[in-house]
């Protein structure tokens, strides 16, 4: 120890320090750079054991540096390389002897260590080509200080090829996440508005009025109507016209899910809740939180699950299968059925209390055969959509084709009409859609006479009067107008309305 350090006598024996340093493979000339720090460290602690602890900590640090995947290089204040880890040597395809005790200004003059030692400031993301290698490195470097004195610099490096590959993988992962996010978003997005529910008859106007009122509050809505009448479009529209429009819209077809999976689909499950439950799963109600859940074919739900659904609607809380924690959800419920739920209640197939809870705001959608005045506008709307989708020029239906469409009973309603017209668009090669373009699919109807445009006179009369009433209304003035157009007296019209029991 230097004579001017007599204050440390009795605390630090220089020969002992030298011995320990030598035993730990630290060169004697390195002592001068560590001595002051060691003095301060030992002065505060006061034992020889602390020197050994200090050196042990140094060995731990070196072990860590040796094990990391990034290249690490340390140089002293003169630029002499004092440490290089295995990762960097592998990166450069060099041996330790090729770097240790070499000057950074010779082996890597354009590198980050040389920059820091010259500028005495940190640098990030510097690209350089180390001498004698084919590697292209990207490095960060910072000065090393001991007691306020810069004693060297440290640099961490990565191969640019590796960074490029990692960036490529990261971008791929980001794209996958983005695509998955978009898929989830689209899966939980309502796609229709009230303008998409096509029709101008009084029954359609009333349906839209009821739907708008439903949109403005959170009450449960029950949509009733035959298959293909547009219940799903209306459910989407109610959500999109509501304050929840920016929130999830989750659809569940109760008839398409196995009974033993329904509860898990609705309320989710915890990991290990049953065989095959390898991780936690969120149910449809949790996914619909703050938004709307649309339960289609609600009549097909098991009675056991009906009880749990009732509890969720009333309490706004649920429990995952296999879970104990109650989860609060804020979900607007819209249900739909092609059955008469009240008949199911009478047969004991549907809970009466749940039926009353779902039937708060009922919207009944009539079948297409009961609003044939809308057929013309529906056909035109669907054809425009189908021709555009297929990139073909619009072709109208011929008079005979429309007569055939009008006289058909449409058991599949608007959905069946869409399918028939799509086939016609594919087949059409003329300036109009002809009956032959329909592929005679309409002849599947049981009553062949009706399909050919021939039906009993009284039935035709009933359809004409009912469609006219739907279009013009039930007021006395409307009936005067209808009677005049049909060519009968208003008294005769009233008699026929009573005869055919038209409501």
* Tens digits of residue pLDDT in 359-408: 999 999 999 999 999 999 999 999 999 999 888 888 888 888 888 898 88
Question: In which residue are the tokens 């329909």 written?
Answer: 438
Q: Tell me the domain boundaries of the chain.
A: 1-67, 71-168, 194-366, 369-451, 457-499
Specify the range with the lowest mean pLDDT, choosing from 37-51, 72-86, 134-148, 391-405.
Answer: 37-51
pLDDT at 448 over 50: no
Class of domain 71-168: alpha beta
Backbone angles phi, psi at 131, to 5 degrees: -60, 140
Contact present, 175 and 182 (Cβ < 8 Å): no
pLDDT at 224 over 90: yes
pLDDT band at 498 (very low <50, low <70, confident <90, very high): confident
Question: Half-sphere exposure of residue 291, counting CA atoms within 13 Å on the CB side?
Answer: 23
pLDDT band at 166 (very low <50, low <70, confident <90, very high): low
369-451 classified as CATH 1.10.8.60:
yes
Residue 15 pLDDT: 47
Q: What is the mean pLDDT of residues 347-364?
A: 92
Residue 451 pLDDT: 42
pTM of the model: 0.55
Q: How far apart are CA 277 and CA 22, in angstroms?
A: 60
Question: In which residue are the tokens 């590697």 written?
Answer: 135
Q: What does pLDDT average to over the chain?
A: 79
Question: In which residue are the tokens 């403005």 written?
Answer: 216
Question: Both tokens of residue 6?
Answer: 């007599």
Question: Half-sphere exposure of residue 157, counting CA atoms within 13 Å on the CB side?
Answer: 29
Q: What torsion, rounded to 10 degrees, do the Cα atoms 109, 115, 117, 120 define?
A: 170
In the CATH scheme, what is the homologous superfamily, with its name and number, of domain 194-366?
P-loop containing nucleotide triphosphate hydrolases (3.40.50.300)
Residue 179 pLDDT: 53
Angle between helices 457-472 and 476-486 (to 10 degrees): 140
Backbone angles phi, psi at 481, to 5 degrees: -65, -40
Nearest alpha carbon to residue 354 among 310, 318, 305, 294: 310
Share of the chain above pLDDT 90, in %: 22
pLDDT at 346 over 50: yes
Contact present, 255 and 297 (Cβ < 8 Å): yes
- Other Cβ atoms less than 10 A from the Cβ of 405: the count is 23
Show the DSSP H helices in 144-279 as ranges. 160-187, 202-215, 231-240, 259-267
pLDDT band at 184 (very low <50, low <70, confident <90, very high): low
Q: What is the mean pLDDT of residues 4-11?
A: 36
Catalogue the E-assigned strands of 373-430.
none
Residue 178 pLDDT: 59
pLDDT at 68 over 80: no
Tell me whether strands 71-76 and 81-84 are parallel, antiparallel or unpaired.
antiparallel
How far is C-alpha 477 from the geometric centre of its chain's CA atoms?
Answer: 54
What string of DSSP letters covers 93-156? T--GGGTTT-BHHHH-TTSHHHHHHHH-S-EEEEEE--TTS---EEEEEEEEEETTEEEEEEEE
pLDDT at 444 over 50: no
Q: What torsion, rounded to 10 degrees, do the Cα atoms 185, 190, 195, 199 define?
A: 140
Q: Which tops the pLDDT comparison, 249 or 480?
A: 249
Most confident of 125-134, 167-176, 226-235: 226-235
pLDDT at 243 over 50: yes
pLDDT at 447 over 70: no
Handedness of CA 322, 325, 330, 333 (dihedral sign): positive
List of residues 6+ apart from 378 with CB closer than 8 A: 198, 199, 368, 414, 417
Q: What is the mean pLDDT of residues 16-45?
A: 48
- Other Cβ atoms less than 10 A from the Cβ of 229: the count is 27
pLDDT band at 483 (very low <50, low <70, confident <90, very high): confident
Contact present, 199 and 223 (Cβ < 8 Å): no
Q: What's the chain's Rg over C-alpha atoms? A: 41
From residue 59, alpha-carbon distances to 249, 323, 361, 495 in Å are 59, 49, 76, 108
Residue 19 pLDDT: 52
Angle between helices 202-215 and 231-240 (to 10 degrees): 40
Question: Half-sphere exposure of residue 418, counting CA atoms within 13 Å on the CB side?
Answer: 13
| Vertex 404: Cα angle to 402 and 410 (nearest 5) | 100
Handedness of CA 424, 426, 430, 432 (dihedral sign): positive
């Amino acid at each position: 120890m230097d004579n001017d350090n007599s204050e440390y006598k009795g605390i630090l024996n220089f020969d002992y320090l030298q011995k320990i340093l030598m035993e730990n493979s630290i060169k004697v000339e390195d002592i001068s750079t560590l001595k002051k720090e060691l003095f301060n460290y030992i002065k505060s602690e006061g034992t020889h054991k602390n020197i050994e602890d200090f050196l042990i900590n140094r060995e731990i640090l070196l072990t860590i540096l040796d094990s990391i995947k990034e290249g690490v290089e340390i140089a002293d204040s003169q630029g002499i390389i004092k440490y290089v880890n295995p990762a960097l040597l592998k990166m450069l395809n060099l041996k330790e002897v090729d770097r240790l005790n070499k000057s950074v200004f010779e082996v890597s003059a354009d590198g980050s260590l040389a920059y820091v030692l010259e500028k005495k400031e940190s640098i990030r993301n510097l690209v350089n080509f180390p001498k004698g290698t084919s590697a292209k490195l990207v490095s960060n470097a910072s000065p090393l200080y001991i007691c306020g004195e810069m004693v060297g610099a440290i640099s961490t490096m990565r191969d640019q090829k590796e960074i490029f590959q990692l960036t490529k993988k990261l971008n791929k992962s980001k794209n996958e996440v983005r695509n998955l996010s978009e898929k989830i978003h689209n899966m939980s997005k309502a796609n229709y508005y009230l303008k998409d529910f096509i029709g101008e008859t009084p029954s359609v106007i009333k349906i839209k009025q009821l739907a708008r009122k439903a949109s403005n509050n959170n009450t449960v809505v029950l949509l009733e109507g035959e298959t293909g009448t547009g219940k799903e479009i209306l459910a989407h529209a109610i959500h999109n016209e509501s304050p929840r429009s920016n929130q999830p819209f989750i659809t569940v077809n109760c008839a398409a899910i196995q009974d033993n999976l329904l509860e898990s689909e609705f309320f989710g499950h915890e990991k290990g809740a049953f065989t095959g439950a390898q991780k936690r799963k969120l149910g449809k109600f949790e996914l619909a939180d703050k938004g709307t859940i649309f339960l289609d074919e609600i009549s097909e739900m098991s009675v056991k699950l009906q009880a749990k659904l009732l509890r969720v609607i009333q309490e706004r809380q649920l429990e995952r299968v296999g879970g104990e924690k109650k989860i609060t959800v804020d979900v607007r419920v819209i249900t739909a059925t092609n059955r008469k739920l009240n008949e199911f209640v009478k047969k004991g197939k549907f809970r009466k209390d749940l039926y009353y809870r779902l039937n708060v705001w009922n919207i009944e959608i009539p079948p297409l055969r009961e609003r044939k005045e809308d057929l013309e506008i529906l056909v035109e709307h669907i054809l425009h959509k189908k021709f555009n989708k297929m990139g073909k020029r619009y072709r109208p239906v011929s008079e005979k084709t429309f007569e055939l469409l009008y006289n058909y009973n449409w058991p599949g309603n608007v959905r069946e009409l869409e399918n028939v017209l799509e086939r016609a668009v594919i087949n059409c090669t003329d300036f109009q859609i002809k009956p032959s373009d329909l592929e005679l699919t309409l002849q599947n109807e049981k009553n062949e006479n009706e399909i050919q445009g021939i039906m009993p006179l009284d039935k035709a009369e009933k359809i004409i009067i009912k469609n006219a009433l739907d279009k013009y209304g039930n007021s006395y003035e409307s009936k005067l107008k209808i009677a005049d157009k049909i060519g009968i007296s208003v008294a005769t019209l009233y008699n026929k309305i009573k005869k055919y029991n038209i409501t």
